[in-house]
């Protein structure tokens, strides 16, 4: 981070908002996000919270992240349940 413009908090919502602010400041309407380690978690959390701004996520060694409270995870889980019931 060094002297880069970043939020002092390590709360995932704050960091995700930093990514979106960077995109806004640089007039990036859509992006594929990627990261390694903690950056992978940030990329995934940012994409989950901003589905209309992200075209994809590339993660390397993201480690465990609790997705259960994300709306997109709940939607995906619903689709999986429907497919299981249809035996697809």
For 6-57, how does the pLDDT look when each residue is reduced to its tens digit (9 = 90+)?
667 778 888 899 999 999 999 999 999 999 888 888 998 999 899 999 999 9
Please state, in angstroms and rounded to a whole number, the distance separating the CA atoms of residues 30 and 37.
23
As a whole number of angstroms, the distance between CA 77 and CA 18 comes to: 28
pLDDT at 81: 82
- 52-74: buried (b, 16+ CB within 10 Å) or exposed (e) per residue? ebbeebebeebeeeeeeebeeee
Name residue, tokens 């035996």.
87
Burial of residue 19 (CB within 10 Å: 0-12, 13-18, 19+) is: buried
């Amino acid at each position: 981070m060094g002297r880069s413009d970043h939020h002092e908090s390590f709360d995932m919502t704050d960091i995700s908002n930093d990514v979106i602010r960077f995109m806004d400041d640089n007039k990036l309407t859509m992006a594929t996000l990627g990261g390694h380690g903690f950056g992978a978690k940030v990329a995934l959390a940012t994409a989950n919270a901003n589905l209309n701004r992200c075209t994809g996520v590339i993660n390397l060694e993201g480690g465990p992240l609790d997705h259960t409270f994300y709306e997109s995870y709940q939607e995906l889980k619903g689709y999986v349940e429907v497919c299981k019931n249809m035996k697809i």
